[in-house]
Structure 1
Amino acid sequence: MSHRLHNIKIILPILVWGMLSHSAIAQTSYRFGTSSGIGGAIGSGYEVANQKATFVNNATPAVFGTTNVTVSLSNQQYGNTTAHPFEGMVNPIYSGAVAFGAVGGTGNADPIANNRFTNLYAFGTPANNLFTIHKMAAPGTGINAPVTGAFTIALFTDALLNAAGDNINGMTDLDTDIQFADITLTFNEPVSNPVIHLGGLGGTADVTLPNAAYHSWLGFTPVFELLNAYSVMRLSGSAYFDVDPLVKKAKTSTTWLGFSSLSAGSCYGGKTTYGASGSFVVNAINISTLTLRIYLRSDEGRVTDAFNSIPCPTPANVIYHPFSATLYPRWSDLESVRSDAFALSVSFARSKVTGNVFNDPDGGHIDNSTGAANLVPGGIYANLIDTATGFVLKSVPVSTNGVFDFGELNANGYQVVLSSTLSTSGMAPAPYTAPTGWVNTGAFNGIPNTGNTGVCTGVSEIFEVNEAGNRININFGIQQLPESDNHNTTIPQPDTNDTLVLDGLGANLPLLSGSDIQDGTYTGAAGTVRNPSGVIITSLPVNGVLYYNGAPVTIGDTIINPALLTITLTGSGYTSLQFEYAYLDAAGFADPTPAVYTINWSLPLPVSLLYFQASKQSGSILLQWATASEQNSKGFEIERSSNGSVWNNIGFLFSLSADGNSNTKLSYSFKDAQPFPAMNYYRLKQIDFDGKYEYSAVRTIAFANETSINIYPNPVTDKIRIEGLIGGEIIYIANMWGQRVSTVKAGGHTCTIDISTLAAGSYIIHIIDASGIQISAKKLAKT
């Protein structure tokens, strides 16, 4: 190529390249193929109509993806159908100064036809290491120019000449940005963080001036300005490739402009000139359109005597003449069609997002802890949520092996939410309730068996997807709940104050029992079979006192060894009693439908008290009781306790019968004028004249205003807070059918309960004191 052909700067192509990044998996790139037959535009020659290509991957053979891009030219400032027609290109079809599929040449009245689609290496042979495939890739990696399809585009400098062959604006157009057109890239599917590649920026035009004694030399470069409201950042490029993040422009930045991206530059008109190539990222999420405004900018130019070429460094016989009204560099001449050379390419990355719903009965880190193949019930759906909107992007079923797969995704922030039905894209996710008989054990984003957030609502942590690689292991845990066995036993006639043993030995009452599909059969002390966690007592007998290892049991107590349970019969007039219990599995989850333990006998226990009750009377507590009959009764000692364990005598009432014997109703009352400021336990010790005695059932009353218990917010969406407690209360929530859906034990004066997993509706929240007396019941609205 002769030196005068430097102004026919070969047009580098446009590349739009999509790719997928995988963590610890070979990277898959999506790009254009190297011929129109696998995804590129078709034809050759000057064209300003839209061009389109579909992405393929880099497999052998290449396989089509689903993403394509349409490249369009608009806002043309120069051309034979605009206000500034070409002087050197007279054919009216040349409607724009920027076009596909043609290049300029000296001595040609028309542009030279060129393929509109070729490969990236075909023009200017740009080095691979000047480009970076995506935002997270190592600089200078990821693009293989010879196998990358690309568009051919040209920018024609003849647009800047007038009919006399002079610059239309004389010298004022030199060394300034001249707007030419806009290039818009429209993706049929959104992309994130696209990388724009510019190759071979810069060109030259050496022209013999009207006075043939002089020759002008001019270097120029296209300048690209991003019009969208996104930020930009340089990733890689040649030494003079410049990206200004403030004005969002990319160009060659050097004193003397040329066409070479090599570090040594090239000699032109006695000066070492430089072009540029490189990549910058557009920091944007899920975009469909990018628009670049193209300008042309020259260096200051040179005018010499009529030399066809000038070596570097400039020889002593070469004189650079000062500019004048007629003596200045020209963009082109009327005998030739001149063009600049540039390349524009775009690439992006997508990553795959997958996860698991594990059958996870051990309650620890989230994983398949069954010791067998992972199996979960059907009817679970995973929903990919856009964290910016809270709406569903994709909803997919979870397979029975627990796997869900959202496919390839753009860089963005996401969250996964489970649902019980398929959710609708663009809407909030459908509600989620664990499958019948199952419960959530937590969630964790990461390698199985390495963590658990403890959030048991079917909602993952927020996570970021970027070009670095796949996001796998968005994991959830569920497990089947334990079952507790009902027991209904008839025993020989007992007496008041008899103690019954529940250890299953000999003629004693049966041991508590249950089972779990993962743990096996529950019986005996905790830890005897695959580490069950024990038994929760969920209700107490109305008559009689349930003891564990000699201490009274309160609602919510966890029993480690059920063989140490006993019941002491108190009161009279009844023929059965019962309490409820629920087994805890190895993960610490309780049977949601407690079992009923029932004891029956034939005849009512001997009648002594018709009733015994306690009530508040201003600043005191009034005790009232009545007997149906009395035999040999001396009277009643009134005992009080603050904890149900240590009792003190606070008074004595003699029998109202004359001799301690009566067959009619006798009523008694006693006022405790100085009750404890919190919990008060009362019992009667009925004493006979012969010294024998028996105790009544215990009555408990909290000497505190119920209105001091505050439950809020109400209505509630996720968590309720209860204030004004004493500590030790059992709090349970029941639906409108009376079924318990949540039970907790207060650990102090306040208690917070997460009810986000409950379905919307009305519930009753019950508060039971340590003795089993309900001290509050309030309606709760769940939204």
Structure 2
Amino acid sequence: MKQKFTLLITVFFLLVSIVTVGQTSLKMGASGGPAGNGPLTTSQAITLYENGTTAFSPAVTATYSLSNQQYAPGSIEGLAANSGLSFGGSLAASVNSPMGAFALYSLMNGISSPTNNLFTAYRTAASGTGVNVTTDRSISLFSCTDALINAATVNQKALNARVYYGDLTITFNTPVSNPVMQIVGLGGTVSFTRSGKTYDLGFATEFDLLSTNVSLNKLSGNSQLNVSATQITNNAAWIGASSIGSVSNGITRYGASGSVVALGNNITSITFKVFVRGDGGRVNNGSTVVTADAGINPVWSIGATNSFGLTNPNVSGDVMLFGVSLLKPVNVSGNVFNDANGGNVDNSTGGTNLVPLGMFANLTDANGKVVASAAVNANGTYSFLNVFEGDYTVSISTVAGVQGAAAPAITMPAGWINTGEYNGTPNTGRDAAVNGTSLSFTVAATAVTNINFGIERLPESNNQSYSIAQTPVNTFITLNGTGSIGNPGPLTGSDTEDFLTGGSLTGKAVAITQLPSNAELWYNNVLIQFGADGINPPSLNNPFTISNYNIALLQLKITASTVGQVSTSFNYAYTDAAGVMDATPASYTINWTGILPVESLNLISSVKADEVILNWITLNESNTAYFEVERSNNNVSFIKVGNSITAAGYNASVSNYNYTDDITAVQHNGTLYYRVKLYDKDGNFKYSNTAVVLKKTIEIKVWPNPFAEMVYVNMMVQSAGNVTVKISDINGRTIITKQQKLSAGINQVIIPELSALPKGIYILNVVNGSEKENVAFKLFKQ
């Protein structure tokens, strides 16, 4: 009886094609791949060429390697020297050994009759474009099905089994995005005839994705190509080798062909588990399915011997072709500018852009992992070569990022800080957040430029120290002198970018970061008490800002707390044109050439709820006996309150006294007057100064703060009267004055049309005309 054996070939082709405008692509062309035939199990490297003909620089390579071989040499029927998977292996007809040889680097249309329109070169290309099967080449891989029989041609796996063969890994020499795999003719058959019956088995090589940083998606192809997020299979009912289908024994068998993209960025390798799956086999006589003869069935291959009476052993399996394709990479570049004014990001120094060495630009993918790191040049430029499609950010640091690791922290060279970031033409914008990281940008087919950053050097504030003569309590010292040792000068500082010469900070922004502990600091006749929040004292993180410093308006007031002290000091910081404050404020110190003098009897007062707290100081008491505290509600008639307070008698140093007066039941119109009467032991007496106490008769709430367009002033007064509300800027210029009559109870004054005011700090004063009460609030215009 005539025996017939037919062996068809499976082709699996992976082509990574980098295509830009004009269909330019990086392909596996005539050059760049290995020469000669297999079978080999050693790794195979390919260099991709632009349009398959022109060298691309820097080179992009893909290296193919096999691992975890399940069928090692010696475990395959008749093939002692071969493995289940090999590069450049092939079929061999009518012999049991050796394995056939196939080109390691083959034309794509060498097998399975593929057509161009089944393939798409890159993820965003038009479906069915960018691949030429007559010129594009690929690496070949062979899956030998002799591993699934024994020497007597007895199947070792079921005809519909899915058998694991090993792993295939593609490794790139640079991180890539969205590689596309071109799959040609995934499937084949083994067929023989016995006693007028044909025994067919179709099988296909299949791939399960092991890599977890990508997912698979079908771009184009015939209907037999079945792709899920993690698998590539042939879903034909009857598997064959032809991409367009081939009729055999009354049925059409198909190979699966098309394009599959591995979606992901920052990819350095992709690994698949490789399987071979049978379609169960078929027995027929022509087009009719029949029952197999006893002891005969379809097989995975023909071994050295068999019980079927066949005399032509064969080496069977699938030949597959693999390549690598990516949208052509482009360059990403930008600048780090010395941005002195901190406005729109650019070089605002007025000269050549120079930045410190030791900085790195780190390119980061959408998952926060570093793709590449580039040194920033002294002129501020940096660039990344061969950046593949995807979404990225760039950050700057003194630490070079490591590919695949989390981006390093944003750090600047000593004495430098960020001023902003902007993706676009210099001096046209700045991101809302100043954080050393660009906004996300998309890389596609054209180069990306102007991912820009601004940095600047920190301003410097100068420490100052003066020694002056003794100054009485309640004296104001204007800090605008010559700056000599005995003539306290203005606040001074310097900035490399916008105030290189340094000197007086007149007209510049100054921040008070710490008040004197034993004196008062005033600006424009307003006591400085709070920082930017309007609640807490000034500090480094909550400064009191003078936006346009006038040296004639900053004063130090000597108070009773200064008595007996040898010095007083406060801290200040220069804020430069970029709005950046010196992070290490300077100290301004005044030393007294002697302890401050004390008037023989000096009284100060304060009020807390319904208590008046009185404090007085004496110096060099001699022959003193006792004190009496007197109170008046009209500053004419005084009465003694409380008991007498014993004096020191004789004391050459400072003596402190205090008394608290409960005024809960005291009748008054909002103002009380106090004085202290000192008796000596001879009956002589003298009076202190008169201290005025204002008992608030008005409760005030101002809102919103910060404000944008208008301000509301809510007031609760005990009796009807007039009120004046005034808004002035930090330099004392009156902006708005409004007068209104109040009735007893709750009243509201609205100050509209403030939207045109520049952003900054303003002072709102409320003067209760009937009680002569003046209350000040700090407002912030946003």
TM range (shorter): 0.5 to 0.7
1:250 corresponds to 2:232? yes
Change (3 A) 1:250 1:601: closer
Aligned-residue offset at 1:273: 3.5
Of residues 253, 260, 267, the one that matches 1:273 is 253
User: 1:325 — aligned with what?
Assistant: 294
Q: How does 1:344-359 map to 2 (within 5 A)?
A: 344-347=322-325, 356-359=335-338
- Of 512, 537, 551 in structure 2, the residue corresponding to residue 537 of structure 1 is 512
What whole-Å deviation, never above 9, does each CA across 1:604-655 have from its counterpart, x for those lacking one? Answer: 765426999999xxx998957432259999979799xxxxxxxxx9997999
| Contact 1:486 1:595 survives alignment (8 Å) | yes
What is the match of residue 576 of structure 2?
Answer: 585
Q: How far apart in 1 are the matches of 2:628 and 2:514?
A: 29
The CA distance in 2 between the partners of 1:692 and 1:627, in whole Å, is 13
Q: Is the 8 A contact 1:608 1:630 kept in 2?
A: no
Provide the secondary structure at the position in 1 that maps to 2:194: coil
One-letter code aligned to 1:120: M
Q: Report deviation, 1:464.
A: 9.3
Distance 1:220 1:48, change over 3 A: same
* Structure 2 counterpart of 1:261: 243
Is the 1:216–1:304 contact (alpha carbons within 8 Å) kept by the matching residues of 2? no
Cα gap change, 1:685 to 1:546, in 2 (>3 Å): farther
Given the superposition, is the C-alpha separation of residues 6 and 420 from structure 1 closer, same or farther in structure 2, using an over 3 Å criterion? same
Task: Output one character per residue of 1:96-133: Cα deviation in whole Å (capped at 9) or x when no partner.
Answer: 56544354476778766432222324434533443445
Would the aligned equivalents of 1:230 and 1:282 in 2 still touch at CA under 8 Å?
A: no
- Report the secondary structure of 1:628's partner residue: strand
User: Are 1:438 and 2:425 an aligned pair?
Assistant: no
Distance 1:281 1:546, change over 3 A: same
1:601–1:78: structure 2 CA closer, same or farther, 3 Å change rule? closer
Pair 1:203 & 2:156 matched: no
Q: Which amino acid aligns with 1:52?
A: Q
Distance in 2 (alpha carbons) for counterparts of 1:150 and 1:650: 111
- Cα deviation, 1:171-224, whole Å, max 9, x if unaligned, reads x954x13537335225275856654432112334554x232x445566543333
Distance 1:466 1:664 in 2: 82
Counterparts in 2 of 1:177 and 1:131: CA distance versus 1, 3 Å: farther
CA distance 1:287–1:235, change in 2 (3 Å): same
Q: Which residue of 1 aligns with 2:163?
A: 179
Task: Report the equivalent of 2:108.
Answer: 120
1:564 partnered with 2:549: no
Residue type matched to 1:301 in 2?
A: R
Asked if residue 61 in structure 1 is aligned to residue 34 in structure 2, the reply is no
The verdict on how the C-alpha distance between 1:515 and 1:289 changes in structure 2, with shifts beyond 3 A counting, is closer
Task: Establish whether residue 398 from structure 1 lines up as the match of residue 376 from structure 2.
Answer: yes
Contact kept? 1:5, 1:105, Cα under 8 Å: no
Shift in alpha-carbon separation, 1:670–1:141, aligned structure 2, 3 A: farther
Between the aligned partners of 1:662 and 1:275, the Cα distance in structure 2 is 117
1:368-517 counterparts in 2 under 5 A?
A: 368-370=347-349, 373-382=352-361, 396-405=374-383, 407=385, 419-420=397-398, 434-442=412-420, 450-452=429-431, 454=433, 456=435, 460=437, 476-484=453-461, 497-501=474-478, 512-517=491-496
Give me the TM-score of the superposition, normalised by structure 2: 0.62
The DSSP-based 3-state class of the residue aligned with 2:139 is: strand
CA RMSD of aligned residues (A): 5.9
* C-alpha distance after superposition, 1:378-401 (max 9, x if no partner): 2334556899899x8866543222
**Structure 2 segments unaligned to the other structure (5+ residues):** 303-309, 530-537, 632-637, 665-672, 679-684, 693-760, 762-775, 777-782
TM-score (norm 1): 0.62
Q: In the alignment, residue 452 of structure 1 is paired with which amino acid?
A: D
Change (3 A) 1:71 1:294: same
SS in structure 1 opposite 2:55? coil
Match of 1:168 in 2: 154
Q: What's 2:658 paired with?
A: 670
Where 2:257 maps in the other structure, the secondary structure is strand
> Which stretch of the first structure deviates more once superposed, 128-137 or 249-258?
128-137
Q: 1:590 to 1:155 in 2, by over 3 A?
A: closer
Superposed displacement of residue 85, structure 1: 1.8
Q: What's the % identity of the aligned pairs?
A: 30
Deviations 1:480-509 (A, max 9, x none): 23344667788899765454545679x998
Report deviation, 1:267. Answer: 3.3
- Measured in 1, the distance between the counterparts of 2:586 and 2:150 equals 98
Corresponding position of 1:292: 273
Q: What amino acid sits opposite 2:183 in the alignment?
A: L
Deviations 1:370-426 (A, max 9, x none): 455532222334556899899x88665432223344555789998866554668889
Equivalent pair of 2:374/2:400 in contact (CA under 8 Å):
yes
* Structure 1 stretch displaced more, 415-424 or 191-200: 415-424
Residues 40, 89 of structure 2: 8 Å contact kept: no
Amino acid at match of 1:42: A
Shift of 1:253: 1.7
Quote how far apart the aligned CAs of 1:146 are. Answer: 4.3
Q: Could you say if the C-alpha distance between residues 125 and 549 of structure 1 is closer, same or farther in structure 2, counting changes exceeding 3 Å? A: same
Q: Distance in 1 between matches of 2:410 and 2:518?
A: 41
- One-letter amino acid of the structure 2 residue matched with residue 255 of structure 1: A
Q: Which amino acid aligns with 2:235?
A: S
CA distance in structure 1 between the partners assigned to 2:556 and 2:281 by the alignment: 104
Taking structure 1 as reference, are residues 600 and 283 closer, same or farther at Cα in structure 2, changes over 3 Å only? closer
1:653-692 paired onto structure 2 within 5 Å: 667-672=655-660
Question: For residues 470 and 138 of structure 2, what CA distance do their matches in structure 1 show?
Answer: 97
Greater mean alpha carbon deviation, residues 576-585 or residues 271-280: 576-585
Q: Write the distance in 2 (CA, Å) between the matches of 1:653 and 1:600.
A: 39
Report the AA paired with residue 225 of structure 2: D
SS in 1 for 2:574: strand
Distance 1:200-1:168 versus aligned 2 partners, 3 A rule: same
Contact 1:203–1:219 (Cα < 8 Å) also in 2: yes
C-alpha separation in 1, matches of 2:572 and 2:147: 91
User: Is 1:49 paired with 2:26?
Assistant: no
After superposition, residues 765-780 of structure 1 pair within 5 angstroms as none
**SS in structure 1 of the partner of residue 64 of structure 2:** strand
Letter in 2 for 1:516: D
Give 1:277 shift: 0.9
What stretches of structure 1 of length at least 5 have no aligned partner?
A: 87-91, 306-317, 640-648, 677-682, 697-744, 746-769, 771-783
Q: Measured at CA, do residues 446 and 14 of structure 1 come closer, stay the same or move farther in structure 2, by a change above 3 Å?
A: same
The yes-or-no answer on 1:343 pairing with 2:321 is yes
Post-superposition Cα deviations, 1:308-342, rounded to whole Å, max 9, x if no partner, equal xxxxxxxxxx6554544367666666447465454
CA distance in 1, matches of 2:623, 2:129: 102
The answer to whether the 8 A contact 1:203-1:341 is kept is no
Q: Distance in 1 between matches of 2:275 and 2:433?
A: 54
Give distance in 1, aligned partners of 2:292 and 2:360.
Answer: 75
The 2-side partners of 1:380 and 1:48 are apart by: 46
Displacement of 1:93 after TM fit? 6.0
Whole-angstrom CA distance in 2 between matches of 1:57 and 1:638? 102
Tell me the distance in 2 between the aligned counterparts of 1:177 and 1:142: 36
How far apart are 1:280 and its partner, in Å? 3.0
Taking the aligned partners of 1:426 and 1:655, their CA distance within structure 2 comes to 82
| Separation of aligned partners in 1, 2:391 and 2:544 | 44
